[in-house]
Amino acid sequence: MEEQKAIYGIIGNPLGHSLSPVMHNAAFQALDVDAEYKLFPLKEDQLDEFFKDLKKEDSPIFGLNVTVPYKEHVFQYMDRLSPLAEKIGAVNTIFISKNRELIGYNTDAPGFMAHLAELQFNTADKRIAILGAGGSTRAILTALCMIPERPRIIKIYNRTTSKVDELLSDLKVKINIDVVEPVISIDDLDIPGCDLLINTTSVGMSKEDPSLVEEDLLRPGMLVYDLIYNPPETPLLKFARNQGALTANGLGMLYYQGVMALQRWAETEIDESVKYQMRLALEEALGYE
């Protein structure tokens, strides 16, 4: 009898523009395994049934990613959580063992740090400014607070200031957030004095979007990191480039979190040649040169 194809996929809603299938199917092809990565655009009232089916012995699903709005919601279905997922309070990768045990991981945080390392940015004693206080900030901020190369200060601003307060009061019971300083205006971020500026907001995704930061606040020597990767250069990154700052978009973070998810599912390191195909697939899908 022919063996059933292994299924992997991503749950979230909406999922229309997810690049995870492109990246992971390129990996499966490079690994020459009979597996397929699918989109599972589930409504909230479909989650109970989906996770009930996932526990069945004959389920073909062996690994999942989770994206907005379910990264926190899926906690209740996990049999175990990695310590990091527990600290962040969000799961983006689910490993399913042979006996159908579900283990929740977070690869967003180490994915971001891996990209920073690739960019040769050492966080030790650096001044960091963060725009936004959504799900991505939660992962990134946790990573930046836990890394041994401790930043000097991390200032954080969000349009809705109460969200920063909620985020910090949640994180402070689990990790040391002494270096974090919430501010109530963009000016208070002291952008000209920072070494790393991170935009985690969605401002820049639409063509009409402005840059939240004025061009003359940016300068050479700083790294401006925009989590947005489509378009590849947001107005913020364009300003940063004009001013001679280093720039990076979020494609690297997407790639590294994907590699780390795949390594969880495969329970082994992935060859550089396979990783190369994953990154190439992402860049091709986005029409990067």
The encoded tokens of residue 102 equal: 């579900």
Catalytic residue flag (residue 71):
yes
Distance CA 51, CA 215 (A): 47
- Is residue 277 part of the contact set for ligand ATR (CB under 6 A)? no
The encoded tokens of residue 251 equal: 């494609």
- Is residue 160 part of the contact set for ligand ATR (CB under 6 A)? yes
Q: Which residue has the closest beta carbon to ligand ATR?
A: 134
Q: How many residues does the chain have?
A: 289
Window contacting ligand ATR (CB under 6 A); options: 103-111, 157-165, 249-257, 276-284:
157-165
Q: Tell me which residue has tokens 């208070």.
A: 188
Tell me the pairing of strands 196-199 and 127-131: parallel
Closer residue to ligand ATR in complex, CB, 107/200: 200
Closest approach of Cβ 214 to ligand ATR, in Å? Answer: 14
Binder to ligand ATR among 82, 107, 142, 201 (CB under 6 A)? Answer: 201
For 214-281, strand residue ranges (E) read 223-226, 246-249
Closer residue to ligand ATR in complex, CB, 196/203: 203
- Stretch 60-99 residues interacting with ligand ATR (CB under 6 A): 68
Counting runs of H as helices and runs of E as strands, what totals does the chain give?
9, 12
The encoded tokens of residue 68 equal: 């907005």
Give the interface size with ligand ATR as a residue count (CB under 6 A): 15
- Is residue 253 part of the contact set for ligand ATR (CB under 6 A)? no
Q: Which of 43, 71, 174, 238 is catalytic?
A: 71
Binder to ligand ATR among 158, 211, 249, 277 (CB under 6 A)? Answer: 158
Whether 271 and 240 have beta carbons less than 8 Å apart is answered as: no
The Cβ of residue 109 has, within 10 Å, a number of other Cβ atoms equal to 28
Residues catalogued as catalytic? 71
Judged by the rule CB under 6 A, the positions of this chain that interact with ligand ATR are 68, 132-137, 158-160, 163, 200-203
